[in-house]
Structure formats: structure tokens, C-alpha cells
């Protein structure tokens, strides 16, 4: 059963809470690892070795904001299973491959159509937008990071995806 809507306010509160101190970030990481072991492990698989160290740290920060937003909304998220994770990732890559747009933001249009956690998806899109001053995410990594974070949202929200 899908969880309640995670709003922009939940996301902002989560980010502020994690940014409050190094301890807050470490505690969130430990709790995430304990409560979502499969999802936590996903972000340390060999698929993530292609990312730069900065990208890997940023991905972990973003997934912690997402997870913390669920917690702040009173919905700690569905405990992810390996099957659910694999199915969500496969579905999301298939959707990305369907897009014929060249621009990153235009390629994401299909993901937003009827998606129940639109604010979380918009948060991820905004976090991966090009920033001329401090661009942590490489152009090559942008889509893969989006897919991995969208997959995490799907798992936490208990969204069942059909191809």
C-alpha cells in the first residue's frame, strides 16, 4: 500500500535537520543502515563505483534527505526487498530508455506522469540540475543518479511499478 504524500515541507525539514550537524548526518546514516539494510547496501554496490567520490557522497546525502523526509511525514517507508529494488530499477531504466528527448529535464517528463511522490521526484531533479558554480554531478552521472534515487523513492513509498 503506497504511503501518504511526502511534501516539499517534509523534504526541507529533513534537509535542515541533516545539515544541522555532522552528528545528525551520522545518526541518520546509522539508522538508515539499520532500518533499510537492502536499500542502504544498494548504494554501495559495484554499480556505484563509476561515480566520483563527490558524487557518491552527494548520492548518500540525497537518499538520506529522502528517507528522513519519509520519517518526518510519519511514514518511515516500506522496508525494501531485493526483488522490489531490482524491479523498480529495471522499470526506471526502461522508462528512461523510452525518452527520446536530448535535454536531461525533458527526459524526465515520463517519470512525473501520474507519479504519487512528485515533490520527492522534483527534489531529485532539482538536486541534479546543472550548477555552474558548484557542479558536483557529472553530465555522465546525472541520469544514473536520478534512476538510483527514483528507485529508492519507489521502494520507500511501496510503489509497485508495471512495465
Residue 57 lies in a domain: yes
Residue 13 lies in a domain: yes
Instruction: Check pLDDT > 60 for residue 2.
Output: no
Q: What angle do CA 15, 8, 17 make, to 5 degrees?
A: 20
Residue 42 lies in a domain: yes
Nearest partner of 70 among 123, 108, 129, 144, judged by Cα: 123
Residue 133 lies in a domain: yes
Residue 63: which domain range? 8-157
How many other CB atoms are found less than 10 A from the CB of residue 93? Answer: 15
Residue 3 lies in a domain: no
In the 8-state DSSP scheme, what is residue 46?
G
Query: pLDDT digits over 124-138, tens only?
Result: 999 998 776 667 898
Grid coordinates representing 77 are 517507508
Q: Are the CB atoms for 60 and 29 separated by under 8 Å?
A: yes
Residue 75 lies in a domain: yes
Query: pLDDT digits over 64-105, tens only?
Result: 999 999 998 888 667 899 999 999 999 999 999 998 888 888
Grid coordinates representing 29 are 546514516
Residue 127 lies in a domain: yes
Grid coordinates representing 57 are 557522497
Number of domains within the chain: 1
Rounded Cα distance between 12 and 120, Å, is 11
Residue 104 lies in a domain: yes
Distances from the Cα of 63 to the Cα of 33, 39, 67, 102, 162, angstroms:
11, 10, 6, 26, 23
Amino acid at each position: 500500500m503506497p504511503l501518504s504524500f511526502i511534501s516539499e515541507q517534509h523534504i526541507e525539514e529533513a534537509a535542515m535537520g541533516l545539515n544541522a550537524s555532522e552528528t545528525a548526518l551520522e545518526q541518520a546514516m546509522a539508522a538508515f543502515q539499520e532500518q533499510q539494510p537492502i536499500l542502504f547496501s544498494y548504494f554501495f554496490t559495484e554499480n556505484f563505483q563509476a561515480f566520483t567520490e563527490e558524487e557518491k557522497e552527494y548520492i548518500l546525502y540525497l537518499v538520506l534527505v529522502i528517507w528522513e523526509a519519509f520519517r518526518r511525514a510519519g511514514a518511515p517507508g516500506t522496508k525494501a526487498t531485493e526483488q522490489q529494488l531490482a524491479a523498480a530499477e529495471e522499470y526506471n531504466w526502461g522508462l528512461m530508455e523510452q525518452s527520446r528527448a536530448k535535454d536531461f529535464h525533458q527526459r524526465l517528463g515520463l517519470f512525473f506522469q501520474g507519479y504519487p511522490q512528485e515533490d520527492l521526484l522534483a527534489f531529485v531533479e532539482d538536486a541534479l540540475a546543472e550548477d555552474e558554480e558548484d557542479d558536483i554531478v557529472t553530465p555522465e552521472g546525472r541520469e544514473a543518479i536520478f534512476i538510483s534515487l527514483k528507485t529508492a523513492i519507489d521502494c520507500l513509498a511501496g510503489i509497485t511499478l508495471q512495465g
